[in-house]
Homo-oligomer: A and B are copies of this chain.
């Protein structure tokens, strides 16, 4: 049975790409993991996925029908998670938010750091496990950092996020500012369109 990896409802770029990238890392470490999503992919995220030629994760409404074990990324609060989160075992969490309402019956791997983006932590995890970061995974993690930090302008952005972004941009072979502005614009323009239509 697969272990499902997912971020929060109303997914943003960090939630979608962190699910994809962490599922990829876990697969490379031998776990049968699959990234899924709990909601619609927004325009900004769609731009990033298309740019790096990656399909969006499958939408799943009830995770307990498909898995016993799940991994949460980019969130921990039950209200932001799958509606049936209480019916599965959370075996891991990788997150950068405050902890609230989170509860388990058993010990687990929980990795939170006070940085601006889940992807910044994932970039560390690749190093800790000695797994090389592919060009695609680097592009996805970079996209998450750009999104959560609003191209390094957000007050939550740390030096670690900036350093990770620079590293990942080199692997992804993109110009951070050029790519970042185009990605943020894609989110803005799609949001605009939706409002008008």
Instruction: Report A102-117 CB contacts with B as 1/0, cut-off 8 Å.
Output: 1111111111111100
Residues of B within 8 A of A128 (CB): 128
Do A99 and B104 touch (CB < 8 A)?
A: yes
Residue from A97, A98, A99 with most neighbouring chain B CB atoms (10 Å)? A99
Distance between A117 CB and nearest chain B CB, rounded to angstroms: 11
Partner of A100, one of B98, B104, B113: B104
Who on chain B is nearest to A156 by CB? B107
Contact A102 to B104, CB < 8 A, known contacts A110-B111, A114-B109: no
Who on chain B is nearest to A110 by CB? B112
Contact A102 to B105, CB < 8 A, known contacts A110-B110, A111-B111, A112-B110: no
Interface residues of A in 61-104 (CB under 8 A from B): 96-104
Do B97 and A107 touch (CB < 8 A)?
A: yes
Do B104 and A108 touch (CB < 8 A)?
A: no
Ranked nearest first, the 3 interchain pairs of A and B with the lowest CB-CB distance are A110-B112, A107-B114, A98-B104
Query: 30 pairs across A/B with beta carbons < 8 Å?
Result: A96-B107, A97-B107, A98-B104, A98-B105, A98-B106, A98-B107, A98-B108, A99-B102, A99-B103, A99-B104, A99-B110, A100-B103, A100-B104, A101-B103, A102-B102, A106-B114, A107-B113, A107-B114, A107-B115, A108-B112, A108-B114, A109-B112, A109-B113, A109-B114, A110-B110, A110-B111, A110-B112, A111-B111, A111-B112, A128-B128
Given contacts A99-B104, A99-B108, 8 further A-B contacts (CB under 8 A): A97-B107, A98-B105, A99-B99, A100-B103, A101-B103, A102-B102, A106-B114, A107-B115
